[in-house]
Amino acid sequence: MSAQEQARGELSAHVREEIDDWLARYPEDQRRSAVLGALRAAQHEHGYLSTEIMDAVAEYLRIPAMDVYEAASFYSMFELRPVGRHTIAVCSNISCMLRGADDLIEHLEKRLGVRLGESTPDGKFYLKREEECLAACCGAPMMQVDHVYYENLTPQRVDEILDSLES
């Protein structure tokens, strides 16, 4: 997907195929139901959901654009502005907090040089403000990096995980 396609709000064949797959699971008059699956596919390809992309999803689903804006802005899993390529989300809810999540966050902020909710200037990392709890209390403290759970963390372990990520 080129930058131009993104700016014009065009969905790639792959995204359209994935949306079709979601649409097939709902009745024809309930196309709105496919909006979450469609947005996930679009975000996976573009990294975030620009207004243009949301409009394209709405057009493809033949539903009002507002329906898409509402769904996309409601769920914290959808990003509405450009973010770093790797999303790091540290849980700081009760179990993780008791097991040192705050130290992990402080360590990450120092290492990456950004605050919670910001992306690194090189566009590699995005330190997400997680809306918790990620349901891994038995392995607290934990973080999620690009959909993968890492548990029983220490600052050293966090460094190893980040070092192991490509570009």
Partner 1 sequence: MSQDLVTLEIDGRTLQAPKGAMLIDVADEADIRIPRFCYHKKLSVAANCRMCLVEVEKAPKPLPACATPVMEGMKVHTRSPLALAAQQGTMEFLLINHPLDCPICDQGGECELQDVAMGYGQSVSRYTEAKRVVPDKDIGPLIATEMTRCIHCTRCVRFGEEIAGVRELGGTGRGEHLRIGTYVEHTMSHELSGNVIDLCPVGALTAKPSRYQARAWEYRQSPTVAAHDGVGSNLFVHTHNGRVIRVVPRENESVNETWISDRDRFSYAGLDADDRLRQPRIKVDGVWRDATWEEVLERCADALRSAAPERVGALLSPSLTLEELYLAQKTLRSLGVADIDHRLEQVDFRDDAAAPLFPWLGSTIEELERADAVLLVGCDPRREQPMLAHRLRKAALKGARVSTIHAHDLDLSYPADAQLSGNTRTQVLHLAGVAGVLAESGKKLPRLLADLVAASTTEDAAAIDARSRMAAALAESPQAHLLLGGDAIASSEFSALRALAGWIARTTGARLGYLASGANATGAWLAGCVPHRGVGGHSAESAGAHVRAQLEQGRDVFLLAGLDPERDLADPILARKALTDAGFVAALTAFSSPVLDAVADVLLPVSTAFETSGTLVNAEGRWQSFNAAASAPGEVRPGWKVWRVLGNLLGVREMDYLDSRTVRDELRAVLPEVDFGNDIDLRLAHAEVPPAHEGLVRMQVRGLYATDPLVRRAGPLQASPEGRRQDTVRLNPQDADGLADGQRVRLRQDGCETELTLVLDASVPPGVALTVAGSAALAELGPGGGIVTLAAA
SS3 126: strand
Q: Closest separation between CB of residue 166 and partner 1, Å? A: 33
The reply on whether position 66 binds partner 1 by CB under 8 A is yes
DSSP run (H or E) holding 145: strand 143-145
Radius of gyration of the chain (CA): 18
What is the residue whose two structure tokens read 């996309």? 72
Q: Are strands 148-150 and 125-128 parallel, antiparallel or unpaired?
A: unpaired
The reply on whether position 165 binds partner 1 by CB under 8 A is no
Instruction: Count Cβ atoms below 10 Å from residue 43 Cβ, excluding itself.
Output: 19
Segment lying near partner 1 (by CB under 8 A), choices 16-24, 40-48, 68-76, 142-150 = 68-76
Contact pattern from residue 15 through residue 54 relative to partner 1, giving x for each residue in contact according to CB under 8 A and a dash for the rest: ------------------------------------x---
Q: Are 117 and 88 in contact (CB under 8 A)?
A: no
Q: Closest separation between CB of residue 98 and partner 1, Å? A: 25
The reply on whether position 64 binds partner 1 by CB under 8 A is yes
Q: Which residues form the interface with partner 1 (CB under 8 A)?
A: 51, 64-67, 69-70, 73-76
